[in-house]
């Protein structure tokens, strides 16, 4: 029992071993001291709460927040001691906040429970007792043999045992896991692949040993031991044998697999874990402001307590005749009385800390995030993809970005590869009309007369057709005429590949005569100029980012054992011992200068003895349970050596639309752009120049190909000196991965100094972790700039998670980047709208919301403090307890919430067309000390005007009613409260630039609601109230003409200075934002709010929007009609 409790608390993990042993069909050994391992059941639990733990767990989580805990303490103080206000005044707002949050979280969790029950109750078929048994998904145990049919989803993580195919292979799609839509091939070991019936599988005696569960989708280490006729056969198991829960079976009738990971231990469930929590700069500022206001609160409470005892030093005020002390009060400890009075004042002034601020901010972020998804300008029609928000906590951070780190391939480019050139045996070739033509050689023969391929060309193309992971659509078959159309140019075979480079190369080879026609069993089939050839696939040496290459070992039709390798030139050329190495290197550099992506291709022949040694080493490494990756890497390096270079390929990846304009706009906005790519130096520089990242007039500095610390340091010093000497012109820096590693090791400060003085930085030959290191380096520098990382592939995930804001591109390299990002967009060009419009709006809105909340609470509680000077610090409250409770909840909450959702202080088109406006809000400009001081002083000023204005107009012995009747303290407090509600609401109206019917409704509706509520509250004797202090007070107040005059005069006096300040500043010292506001008011084209552009551009924009709408209706796109936030609000 104790062990179970420790496991539940996380102190004693259930898995003590590094591996798990699974007996297939749960046939446990009958002899020996076998201790069965305990595994998780197959229930998926994505919910946080149960019926039993919801209340305590939710309350615990909510009271971990400082503000909620603070108000809980205040509420408990009110219950324990005699305080001037009812415990309800603190308890009710706290209860409201806690309840609203609990309902929201409870509803979300109920939806998760509902989804879990659907998944856990899904029907599945399991092999038990010699037959197929139908059961529920949650009842599957580790070791069960499960049958899955075509187009069904795998209910657990399975090791494939057999399929309806003789070779035991199957095809799956992992789109729901990583977004990759290409078909992946998985294979069973030969000993189980032949067991295609339930009866045969029921007789299988085998044991699987594998690693304990881990989240990496692409890693699996295990081995299977099959007992056949008193012989034990051991086979390695890798990712190609594992079928992941959530993946779907395709192009295969059925498969049988054994469950190895179940329930919350499946890789899909382990990937549910939330990413590290990112906090925005606004949230940090908000916490700082709370601390300052807490200090103000403590100061007011201590000062009031001291003044009370100073006042009571005189005997006549200590115990007046009308308020004699009891014997207990006279004998009580002075220290205890001081503490009690201090706590009472703390309770009286506690509303200066706004409890509803957190709820309002959460609602603003959650509701505001929908505008990004609704924005038609962020919708990509070709792919039918709209912007996606994965976290709403960082909306305002989009308006604070100072550095953008971007990937190149698939982010700045289309990731649509087109074969352009190749180098074979030191000769450059181009594809002309479906033929490989040597450079400078023109052939005018008709397309039908194909030039025969020479031996080197054919071997090169065969290497391209054999060394890849491309698959063919299983529905396609070779027609009678073979793979060529009548014109002899285009292959009808449809290829699928996870890498666009591989697909482009295989398609190019098929066009020039060497066609990959598919995989049959363990053989790869190729047609060379119509002649079929079959190569037996012996081993695949998978690609990894460290080796930067992949290889296959095949047996040719003549029985030769061949290794074909392709990869980056930096990983192939040093391992080549023969071939035209120097010429190929020159050609690779030429391809790179044209902006082409380059790969080198090489091969090696094995003698029978060499192949036997290689096979033995590979088997040992692949069956190892410990350090398998390291052992495989060593074996791969041993195999991929002494290569004979065949040539190189050049593939073009064209730029995305409007990349150059977007990068230039980011530069105008004061944002520095760093490109981090794995491409080679020349390719990266060429693309940087073509996309505008580097200007032609820019001085390009280089820190590349350094092998030692000393040379790297010397080069850095020279670069720093050169920048100082040529400080007038702009500089761009190019640095490669190896030099970066050296620079970050001991010369970090010098490297950072050089980088910060450069307008653009390009890092090439970067490994994924190096990308994250660069982001962390800038992020943790003394200036602590806000960073944004954007990428489209799995290799970009680390930098996306490291940056303050991570953006995924919905590209062609899977969806890992999108799944791990904070926001996802379809194209790089959408980044400008996301930052300059949405980011700008979100930041302005939440900055005003936070400061307005503190302002209105200063206005609220300062009169309470001033009132104590007139009541001998007796802790008499100025406002009725109901008003205290409802001020933040009802009377002043909606106008600021609606403002924070809909405000557009400058038109969206102006913000996007004038990126320089982004500089006005950079470095948290609107939540700095000066704006905070302004709002706080304004709050105190208004509070003084409320209180002393009301006091002077009412005065002592002043009759404000016609019958000579005088007002009491409740009437005075109600007058102050009425003036305050109207003033703070009107202040919000003054801050609003973009008015919709919703703004009008909540602004004027809040004031009307206050009056109606007060009339009902004070006009009826409520039987459930203990006191009736407010009975008829409000009605009496409003019946006085003098009171109306006082309300109008005080409100005007408060807001007049604000209006004058705004007018003077706008005309005498206008900011660029205020100039843009005046500019935006000059032109307004109705309906779609297309303004602020020359008329011709406005017409173009209008026709574009109308065309979009026609496309929408034609395609039945189910998007809300909300092109920009301006349009959304305009329709309101």
Residues with active-site annotation: 407
Burial class (CB in 10 A: 0-12, 13-18, 19+), 852: buried
User: Cα separation of 694 and 675, whole Å?
Assistant: 10
Please name which of 914, 809, 780, 844 lies closest in space to residue 403, comparing C-alpha atoms: 780
Contact (Cβ atoms closer than 8 angstroms) between residue 923 and residue 397: no
Gap between the Cα atoms of 935 and 956, Å rounded: 32
List residues bridging with 208 in a β-sheet: 22, 224
Q: Rounded to an integer, what distance in angstroms lies between the CA atom of residue 182 and that of residue 931?
A: 53
For 207, which DSSP code?
E
DSSP annotation string for 360-390: HHHHHHHHHTHHHHH-GGG-BTTTTB--EES
Round to whole Å and give the CA distance between 704 and 681. Answer: 8
Count the Cβ atoms, other than its own, within 10 Å of residue 131. 11
Work out the number of other CB atoms within 10 angstroms of the CB of residue 352.
19
Closest CA to 158 of 42, 256, 36: 256
**Exposure string over 533-555, b if 16+ CB within 10 A, otherwise e:** bebeebbebebeeebbbbbbbbb
Q: Which helix (H) or strand (E) holds 739?
A: helix 737-746
**Residue of 859, 996, 865, 847 lying closest to 923 (CA atoms):** 847
Largest CA distance in the chain: 123
Strand (E) or helix (H) holding 198:
helix 198-202
Q: Fill in the DSSP letter of residue 728.
A: S
Burial of 354-366, coded b for 16+ CB within 10 Å and e otherwise, reads bbbbbbbbebbbe
Asked whether the beta carbons of 355 and 93 are under 8 A apart, the reply is yes
User: Number of C-alpha atoms within 13 angstroms, CB side, residue 319?
Assistant: 7
SS3 for 700? strand
Q: Are strands 643-655 and 413-424 parallel, antiparallel or unpaired?
A: antiparallel
| Half-sphere exposure in the Cβ direction for 482 (13 Å, CA) | 19
Q: What is the dihedral of CA 922, 924, 925, 930, to 10 degrees?
A: -160
Radius of gyration for the chain, computed over Cα atoms and rounded to the nearest angstrom: 37
Structure tokens at 579: 């071939």
The gap between the terminal CA atoms of the chain, to the nearest Å, is 61
Backbone φ and ψ of 752, nearest 5°: -65, -40
Helices assigned H by DSSP within 132-197? 175-178, 190-193
Mapped onto helix, strand or coil, the DSSP state of residue 429 is strand
- Helix H or strand E segment including 1015: helix 997-1019
CA atoms of 453 and 460, how far apart (whole Å): 10
**The two three-digit tokens of residue 471, written as one number:** 């698959």
- Helix/strand number for the chain, H first, E second: 42, 35
E-strand stretches of 91-230: 123-128, 131-136, 145-149, 157-163, 169-173, 184-187, 206-211, 222-228
Cα–Cα distance for residue pair 985/1007, rounded to 1 Å: 8
Q: Distance of CA 930 to CAs 522, 789, 923, 1083, Å?
A: 72, 31, 13, 33
Other residues' Cβ atoms within 10 Å of the Cβ of residue 392: 18
Q: Under 8 Å CB-to-CB from 627, ≥6 apart: which residues?
A: none
């Amino acid at each position: 029992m104790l062990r179970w409790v420790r496991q539940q608390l996380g102190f004693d993990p259930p898995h003590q071993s590094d591996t798990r042993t699974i007996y297939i069909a749960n046939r446990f050994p009958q002899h020996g001291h076998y201790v069965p391992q305990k595994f998780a059941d197959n229930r998926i639990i994505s919910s946080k709460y149960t019926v039993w733990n919801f209340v305590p767990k939710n309350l615990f989580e909510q009271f971990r927040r400082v503000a909620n805990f603070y108000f809980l303490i205040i509420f408990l103080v009110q219950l324990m001691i005699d305080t001037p206000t009812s415990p309800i005044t603190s308890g009710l707002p706290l209860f409201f906040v806690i309840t609203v949050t609990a309902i929201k979280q409870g509803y979300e969790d109920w939806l998760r429970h509902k989804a879990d029950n659907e998944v856990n109750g899904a029907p599945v078929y399991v092999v038990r007792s010699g037959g197929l048994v139908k059961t529920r998904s949650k009842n599957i145990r580790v070791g069960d043999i499960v049958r899955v049919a075509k187009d069904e989803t795998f209910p657990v993580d399975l090791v494939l045992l057999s399929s309806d195919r003789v070779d035991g292979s199957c095809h799956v799609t992992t789109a729901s896991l990583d977004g990759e839509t290409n078909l992946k091939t998985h294979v069973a070991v030969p000993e189980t692949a032949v067991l295609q019936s339930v009866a045969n599988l029921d007789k299988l005696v085998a044991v699987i040993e594998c690693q304990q569960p881990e989240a990496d989708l692409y890693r699996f280490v295990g081995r299977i031991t099959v007992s056949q006729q008193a012989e034990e056969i051991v086979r390695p198991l890798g990712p190609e044998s594992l079928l992941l829960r959530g993946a779907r079976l395709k192009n295969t009738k059925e498969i049988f697999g054994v469950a190895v990971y179940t329930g919350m231990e499946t890789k899909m469930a382990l990937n549910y874990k939330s990413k590290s929590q990112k906090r925005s700069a606004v949230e940090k500022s908000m916490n700082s402001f709370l601390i300052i206001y807490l200090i103000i609160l403590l100061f007011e409470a201590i000062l009031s307590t001291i003044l009370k005892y100073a006042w009571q030093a005189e005997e006549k005020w200590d115990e007046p005749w009308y308020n004699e002390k009891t014997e207990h009060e006279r004998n009580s400890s002075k220290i205890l009385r001081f503490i009690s009075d201090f706590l009472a004042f703390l309770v009286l002034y506690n509303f200066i800390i706004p409890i509803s601020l957190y709820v309002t901010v959460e609602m603003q972020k959650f509701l505001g995030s929908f505008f990004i998804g609704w924005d038609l300008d962020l919708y990509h029609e070709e792919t039918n993809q709209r912007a996606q928000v994965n976290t709403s906590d960082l909306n305002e951070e989009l308006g604070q970005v100072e550095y953008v780190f971007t990937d190149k391939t698939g982010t700045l480019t289309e990731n649509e590869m087109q074969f352009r050139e190749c180098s074979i045996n030191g000769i450059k070739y181009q594809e002309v009309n479906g033929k490989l033509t040597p450079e400078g050689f023109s052939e005018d023969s008709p397309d039908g007369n194909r030039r025969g391929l020479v031996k080197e060309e054919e071997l090169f193309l065969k290497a391209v057709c054999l060394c890849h992971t491309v698959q063919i659509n299983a529905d396609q078959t070779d027609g009678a005429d073979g793979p060529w159309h009548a014109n002899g140019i285009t292959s009808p075979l449809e290829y699928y590949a996870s890498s666009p480079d591989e697909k482009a190369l295989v398609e190019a080879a098929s066009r020039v005569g060497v066609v990959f026609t598919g995989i049959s069993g363990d053989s790869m089939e190729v047609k060379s100029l119509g002649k079929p050839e079959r190569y037996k696939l012996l081993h695949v040496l998978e690609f990894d980012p460290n080796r930067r290459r992949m290889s296959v070992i095949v047996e040719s039709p003549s029985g030769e054992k061949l290794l074909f390798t392709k990869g980056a030139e930096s990983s192939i050329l040093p391992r080549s011992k023969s071939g035209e190495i120097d010429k190929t290197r020159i050609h690779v550099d030429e391809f790179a200068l044209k902006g082409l992506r380059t790969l080198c291709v090489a091969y090696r022949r094995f003698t029978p003895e060499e192949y036997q040694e290689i096979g033995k080493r590979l088997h040992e490494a692949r069956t190892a349970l410990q350090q398998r990756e390291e052992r495989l890497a060593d074996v791969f390096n041993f195999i991929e050596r002494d290569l004979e270079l065949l040539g190189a390929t050049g593939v073009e990846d064209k730029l995305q639309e409007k990349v150059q304009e977007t990068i230039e706009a980011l530069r105008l906005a004061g944002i520095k752009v760093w490109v981090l790519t794995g491409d080679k130096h020349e390719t990266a520089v060429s693309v940087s120049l073509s996309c505008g990242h580097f200007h032609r007039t820019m001085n390009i500095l280089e820190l590349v190909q350094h092998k030692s610390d000393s040379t790297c340091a010397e080069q850095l010093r020279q670069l720093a000196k050169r920048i100082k000497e040529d400080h007038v012109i702009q500089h761009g820096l190019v640095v490669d991965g190896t030099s970066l590693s050296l620079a970050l090791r001991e010369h970090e400060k010098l490297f950072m100094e050089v980088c910060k003085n450069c307008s653009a930085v390009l890092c090439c030959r970067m490994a994924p972790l190096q990308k994250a290191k660069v982001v962390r380096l800038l992020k943790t520098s003394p200036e602590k700039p806000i960073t944004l990382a954007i990428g489209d592939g799995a290799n970009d995930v680390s930098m996306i998670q490291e940056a303050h804001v991570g953006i995924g591109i919905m590209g062609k390299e899977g969806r890992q980047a999108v799944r791990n990002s904070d926001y996802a967009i379809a194209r790089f060009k959408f980044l400008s709208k996301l930052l300059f419009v949405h980011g700008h709006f979100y930041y302005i809105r939440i900055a005003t919301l936070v400061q307005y909340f503190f302002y209105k609470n200063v206005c609220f509680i300062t009169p309470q403090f001033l009132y104590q000077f007139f009541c001998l610090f007796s802790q008499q409250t100025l406002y009725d307890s109901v008003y205290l409770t409802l001020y933040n909840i009802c009377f002043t909450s909606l106008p600021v919430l609606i403002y924070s959702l809909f405000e557009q202080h400058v038109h969206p088109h102006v913000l996007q067309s004038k990126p320089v406006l982004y500089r006005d809000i950079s470095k948290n400009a609107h939540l700095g000390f000066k704006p905070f001081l302004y709002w706080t002083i304004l709050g105190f000023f208004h509070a003084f005007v409320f209180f002393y204005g009301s006091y002077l107009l009412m005065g002592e012995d002043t009759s404000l009613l016609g019958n000579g009747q005088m007002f009491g303290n409740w009437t005075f407090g109600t007058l102050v409260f009425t003036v305050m509600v109207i003033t703070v609401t009107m202040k919000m109206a003054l801050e609003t630039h973009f008015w919709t019917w919703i703004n009008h409704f909540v602004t004027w509706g809040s004031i009307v609601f206050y009056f109606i509520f007060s009339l009902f509250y004070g006009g009826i004797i409520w039987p459930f109230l203990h006191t009736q202090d407010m009975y008829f007070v409000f009605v009496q107040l409003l019946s006085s003409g003098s009171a109306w005059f006082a309300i109008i005069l005080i409100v005007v006096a408060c807001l007049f200075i604000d209006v004058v300040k705004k007018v003077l500043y706008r005309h005498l010292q206008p900011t660029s934002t205020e100039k843009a506001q005046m500019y935006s008011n000059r032109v307004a084209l109705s309906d779609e709010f297309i303004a602020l552009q020359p008329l011709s551009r406005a017409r173009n924009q209008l026709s574009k929007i109308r065309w979009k709408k026609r496309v929408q209706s034609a395609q039945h796109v189910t998007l809300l009609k909300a092109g920009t936030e301006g349009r959304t609000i305009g329709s309101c």
